[in-house]
Each structure stands twice: as structure tokens, then as C-alpha cells.
Chain A
Amino acid sequence: GAVVSQHPSWVICKSGTSVKIECRSLDFQATTMFWYRQFPKQSLMLMATSNEGSKATYEQGVEKDKFLINHASLTLSTLTVTSAHPEDSSFYICSARVSGRGGDTQYFGPGTRLTVL
């Protein structure tokens, strides 16, 4: 399957700082990437859809000024958590959409665990 990487895999930061997470498709081009958030023992919650060359589409209740998304190229999308607070601590996962004859599949990155002190 397609390979998606994320960097960093974990990060600890102080409250009030900003953190950038990168999501890359390694062996294919992805016009659409997705950013999810996951709390312990819960399912994935879609935060936003990132489209190359255009503004991201945010889900209801997700603050776009707090979670900045940039999809600058066909292989890279970034999520910046601005002015992070302890309640932003979570597991952030990106995925890239792959279109095939049978339909669309999403392949996930390994995730980034963010801890805000």
C-alpha cells in the first residue's frame, strides 16, 4: 500500500507555544489529505480536509485559526497547532487519499503524539 509519513512522531511543548506537524506521501502524490485527532480509547475525529493549492475545509467545531493547515505541494501537508494548551494534548493523525478503480482509500501516517505542559 501507499506510504504516508508524519513528523515528528511525538512532541512535548510548553503552553502557549506553536507546534508544526508534517504529513508526507512518500511514493505517490496526494491532492487531498485529512487531519484527524484521536483521544485514548476513542475513534478518529476528522478535523479538516486539506486540498493542495486551496484552503482547507474544517469540520464543525474545529477552530481554523488555532489549527492552521497548509497543503503546499502534492506530497506535503502541515498542521500547526497555534498557542497550544494542555487540552490540545492528543494523538494527531494524517491520511492521504488514494483514488483507484474500486474507489477511494485513505492511507494513514503513523501519528504524532502531542503533549502540552
Chain B
Amino acid sequence: EDKVVQSPLSLVVHEGDTVTLNCSYEVTNFRSLLWYKQEKKAPTFLFMLTSSGIEKKSGRLSSILDKKELFSILNITATQTGDSAIYLCAVAGGTSYGKLTFGQGTILTVHP
């Protein structure tokens, strides 16, 4: 059975701090790993990673994948209160339908 585990499950920081969110996985026929941010509504897409060692960057957010050790990290530097959200890691594998297996999510709270 495919499995995705995120850590920590929750994190409380102050504005300006840097955070690292972790995602490890066990998936047959790995295709890609995706990071999403969820605030009050549905998840919004952040990154898709398919190759090891290539960092993807968008502003203060960056992410990298290690296919040998089967994990990914999402970094957020200089956090702001608007970064408070649930961060979801999902892995696509197995069937050709593109089904995603989601981790439990990390609840990030950034205090002013």
C-alpha cells in the first residue's frame, strides 16, 4: 500500500523564522511528488518534483526531492503570517490515472 508521511504534524513559529517541512514516501512506480498549500478552501498547487537534486524555487519557498532516500523537503524562509496554512505533500504513482496519495499534512502557524 502506498504511504506518504509528513513531519512535523504541526509547527508554530514567529515571523521571520525559517521552517523546513518533511515528506517521506513509499510508493510503487513513483511518478512525481507535489506540494500544496491549503488555507480555508481547497489546496493550491506549489511545486511538482520529478527529478532528484533539482531545487524548485518560488519566492521564499523552495523544495527538493531525494529519490534515493525517498523524501522531499519544503523550505520557507522569512516566514510571514500569511504563510499560516496546512501544507500537503502528495505522491503520484501506481496507476496511469494520476491518483495522488496524500500525507497527513503539516499545520504551520506563524505568529507576528
Contacts and interface: CB of A to CB of B under 8 A. Distances in A.
The bracket for how many chain A residues form the interface is 20 to 34
Interface hub of B32, B50, B98, B104 (most chain A Cβ within 10 A): B98
A50 to B, nearest CB: 10
B48 A103 contact: yes
Contacts of B104: 42-43
A104 B32 contact: yes
Secondary structure type dominating chain B contacts: strand
A63 B48 CA distance: 32
Contact of A32 (B90, B97, B101, B102): B97
Contacts of A93: 42-43
B34 interface: yes
B98 to A, nearest CB: 4
Nearest to B43: A108
A109 B43 CA distance: 8
A103 B97 contact: no
B88 A44 contact: yes
A51 B97 contact: yes
A44 B100 CA distance: 10
Interface of B: 31-32, 34, 36, 41-45, 48, 50, 86, 88, 90, 92, 97-105, 107
